[in-house]
Amino acid sequence: MKQQYKGTHTFDVASRTITLLGIEILPERLLLVVNSTVGFVYHNFAADPNADITLSGGNTVIVFPQYKDCDTHRATDALSIFYDDGVDLGKLIKDESDQTQVILTDIQAELEDANTTLTAFKAEVKSESDATQVILSEIKTELDTASTTLTDFKTEVKTESDETQALLGTKLPDPVGGRIPVETLGKYEPTNNVAVNMTYGSFGMSQVVFSKAGTTLKTLNMNYDAQGNLVSVIPT
């Protein structure tokens, strides 16, 4: 089940290292590490190469690649970290539902036993007095109330189970083209002597080329669907 890490962490920008304290997350279960302050991805399980992840002393140490341009980032920047805790929520719900069903079956058996005993008792004392009949009537009413309560409880358990099952349909947004690309374009601004050339197609801007001193630094290609909606921006 996908989770967002809410615990304590340290961030050393110089060594490009993030340490999650008090938790060990297997490399294959660490999904995404993002600097929320500047909108920069340090690790994306769907991207290649990924960060170097090791487990040490109950902590998770994340060292992201040298090519990540993060020299201007700060140790106090907010981080968003997502991981898979390995818990199969569907199995957990089923196990709990099965345990509840066993308890309900036991209760039902006890009620049936109690009802059998009551029937025999009624036959034995029928001739004794009206007062005894009143007592038996009260006991039966209490049993009927208990049966109604049990039925309501079973309905409530099923409703909660259905609501929990509905939550299984939710997940993190799917990466576009297998990736969640995030990159800052600040270094390509004209103030850095970068020329920006834009090409337009049928639905709008189709390409942006950033160049400096005659050398192309980055090219962004925009793709549209048949209705003219922008569906992807692919950097080259």
- Predicted pLDDT of residue 106: 86
Residue 48 is predicted with a pLDDT of: 63
Q: Dmax of the chain from CA atoms?
A: 112
Q: Are residues 167 and 186 in contact, defined by beta-carbon separation less than 8 angstroms?
A: no
Per-domain boundaries in the chain: 2-84, 89-167, 186-235
Please report which residue ranges of 17-171 form alpha helices under DSSP H.
89-125, 130-167
**pTM of model > 0.85:** no
Rounded to whole angstroms, how far apart are CA atoms 127 and 117?
Answer: 17
**What angle is formed at CA 207 by the lines to CA 44 and CA 191, rounded to 5 degrees?**
80
pLDDT of 215 reads: 93
pLDDT of residue 173: 46
Mean pLDDT for back-to-back runs of 10 residues, the chain (236 residues): 92 94 94 94 82 94 89 94 82 74 86 86 78 84 87 84 60 53 71 91 91 92 91 89
Q: Which residues contact 228 (CB under 8 A, 6 or more apart)?
A: 202, 203, 204
